Structure 1
Amino acid sequence: MSWETIFGQLSWDSLVFSGAIKHPSTSEFVASGAGSIVILGAIGVVVLLTVMHWWKPLWRDWLTSVDHKKIGIMYIVIALVMFLRALIEAGVMRSQQLAAADGAGYLSADHFGQLFTTHGTIMIFFVAMPFITGLMNYVMPLQIGA
């Protein structure tokens, strides 16, 4: 099986990291840093779950649970994780506005527009909606006595 069969036209040059290595600019370093943090965070979570032997309890007690409280808590935790991501984006956008007061800033206009759009989308669809759903999932059965 060849590379083209699996990935099609996707190549190493298509990734954000490769562009920052070949032609460094501040905007690409910001994107590379964010991508690196995500990858290192995911590796850290996998290592923590493996070292602490939490894979089985995570699967047995949480991911396959039908308990409304645990499901609500999982919704709320995901909403808080995404809120942290959106908060970091907001900080990057505000620092860009501060840096651009005297000059061009460190982000391109296109990258700032992408940050603005993803920040709004994340806040509505990945923070507000899961948080409300998790809260309803946790509280509503308690209110009706189920």
Structure 2
Amino acid sequence: MLQTTEYARLALAFGRGADEEDAARAAAVRVEAPGRPGPRLRPGAEPRTRPARRRDRPEPACPVDYTYLGRLARPDGNGNVLVFTGIHPQGTLGVVDLLTSEIATLWGQVGESRFSTVVGVEYDPATGEPVRAEPASPLYRHEET
């Protein structure tokens, strides 16, 4: 049986009220053995199962990627640079698609000023091609210095 303080510590660790199942999971945490290479299990603990490998995991329910898009000052101070980078390649492709199709709309909103925004990109999971790209946040206009 666990002491009340141990339950409170587990409740903090698991972000909710701890019960005996949580205590059993906490006991199975691997610990480093001094003088021995690699981790070992605590006495009486059962080994954890490994999470599924990435290729075995199902596709996301909604194939969306997010991308940063901004016009920023060059580090040397001579002009601006357009920066866009997705978390995954699908997001970057989506911003290119957005820029090629909506450049006039974007220019109408920001003109020559520096800006930043986040773009949400829905893509076809089978091909990785963007299906729809649109701003996921308002345009932030940087103050000129």
TM more than 0.5: no
Q: Per the shorter chain, which TM-score range?
A: under 0.3
Compare CA radii of gyration and give the structure with the larger one: 2
Q: TM-score under structure 2 normalisation?
A: 0.21
Q: TM-score under structure 1 normalisation?
A: 0.21
Task: Name which structure has the greater RCO, CA cutoff 8 Å, separation 6+.
Answer: 1
